[in-house]
């Protein structure tokens, strides 16, 4: 299986020849307006050329980080290029003033101060896209980085009847939502987190040294998903090959299998990893966000996880 991931990783690097700070969408990606909760919102929709019209296709939501946007996330992740190869739809929603209401309740973050219903926004996008394209209801996925990763867990929790699997990169669940962790259906989850993330602490606590609210630690959140999904313990464990010793990172993985309705929970702990999208660009200096792990490409392994986890009843 690893050869497939290596091929996908190589393909994805082509996408990153453009700057991550690009503001324009890539070919076959269009800006879509949408009214959600009485607000005028926008999202980017990538529709691969020659997308099958006679059969349902998967849909991936890719959520940007705080102070980023949809166009930058399309470049950072490379999901659109991968979608062209694998034939799935990708949605890149736009947050309010470049942020999501992920539940941290921070008054200086507009989306949170205004209590924007971003879960409803994602649900409304799903409805709109499903009217235009044959979306496979059993293969709807959500992923994101940082603020978008926190939003990923919230969406997976609140829309667990629709989301088959989620994948978070450099972010967990907002601490104020701890007593609201009440999914209605099991969801497969994949968490990727660096131990040297200077923004989002691996063990939980204050984001950006407490200036941006508080989040739950990785191990605690993994246990919450494992327990809810009913996965078997102890997990399978291992390490990825250290393909890039120069990056000062290495990856330990844990996989809890056998959850209800075929769900699994997987954790990639990146020892020495920073607040980054593994395998992609060093979009800010290391002293600000830490190093990028080069041992795998997050987009490739996330899609591999998604492909293996359709929603089953």
| CATH number where 205 lies | 3.40.50.1820
Residue 312 within any structural domain of the chain: no
- Worst-scoring range by mean pLDDT, 22-26, 104-108, 210-214, 300-304? 22-26
CA distances 157 to 48, 106, 154, 182, 227, Å, are 29, 20, 5, 7, 14
Does residue 266 form part of some domain? yes
Domain that holds residue 213: 2-307
- Number of helices (H) and strands (E), helices first, in the chain? 9, 12
Helix (H, G, I), strand (E, B) or coil at 196: coil
CB atoms within 10 A of CB 33: 9
d(CA 76, CA 102): 21
The answer to whether residue 313 sits within a structural domain is no
Q: Would strands 188-194 and 165-169 be described as parallel, antiparallel, or unpaired?
A: parallel
Which residues, listed in sequence order, are joined to residue 40 by a DSSP beta bridge? 35
Beta carbons of 174 and 206 less than 8 angstroms apart: no
Asked if residue 295 belongs to a domain, the reply is: yes
**pLDDT (0 to 100) of residue 24:** 73
What's the pLDDT at 53?
84
Closest CA relative to residue 151, chosen from 36, 54, 62: 62
Q: Which residues, 6 or more positions from 35, have their beta carbon under 8 angstroms from its beta carbon?
A: 41
Angle at 288 between CA 8 and CA 82, to 5 degrees: 15
What is the tens place of the pLDDT at every residue in 280-298? 988 888 889 999 999 999 9
Q: Extract the tokens encoding 87.
A: 């034939």
Share above pLDDT 70 across residues of the chain, in percent, rounded to a whole number: 93
Domains: count for the chain: 1
Q: Is residue 58 part of a domain?
A: yes
């Amino acid at each position: 299986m690893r050869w497939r991931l290596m091929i996908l990783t190589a393909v994805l690097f082509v996408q990153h020849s453009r700057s991550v700070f690009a503001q324009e969408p890539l070919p076959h990606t269009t800006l879509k307006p949408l009214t959600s909760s009485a607000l005028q919102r926008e999202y980017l929709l990538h529709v691969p050329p020659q997308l099958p019209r006679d059969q349902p296709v998967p849909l991936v939501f890719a959520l940007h980080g705080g102070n980023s946007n949809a166009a930058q996330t399309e470049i950072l992740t490379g999901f659109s290029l991968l979608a062209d190869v694998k034939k799935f739809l990708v949605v890149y929603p736009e947050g309010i003033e470049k942020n999501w209401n992920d539940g941290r309740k921070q008054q200086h973050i507009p989306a949170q101060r205004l209590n924007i219903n971003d879960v409803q926004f994602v649900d409304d996008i799903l409805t709109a896209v499903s009217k235009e394209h044959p979306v496979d209801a059993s293969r709807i996925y959500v992923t994101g980085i940082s603020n978008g990763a926190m939003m990923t867990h919230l969406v997976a929790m609140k829309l667990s009847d629709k989301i088959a699997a989620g994948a978070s990169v450099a972010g967990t669940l907002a601490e104020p939502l701890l007593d609201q962790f009440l999914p209605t259906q099991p969801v497969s989850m994949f968490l990727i987190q660096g131990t040297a993330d200077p923004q989002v602490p691996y063990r939980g606590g204050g984001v950006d040294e407490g200036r941006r609210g508080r989040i739950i630690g990785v191990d605690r959140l993994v246990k919450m998903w494992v327990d809810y999904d009913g996965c078997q313990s102890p997990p399978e464990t291992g390490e990825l090959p250290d393909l890039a010793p120069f990056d000062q990172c290495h990856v330990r993985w844990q996989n809890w299998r056998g959850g209800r309705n075929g769900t699994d929970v997987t954790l990639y702990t990146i020892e020495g990893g920073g607040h980054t999208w593994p395998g992609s660009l060093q979009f800010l200096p290391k002293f600000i966000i830490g190093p990028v792990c080069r041992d795998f490409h997050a987009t490739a392994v996330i899609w591999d996880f998604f492909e293996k986890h359709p929603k089953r009843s």
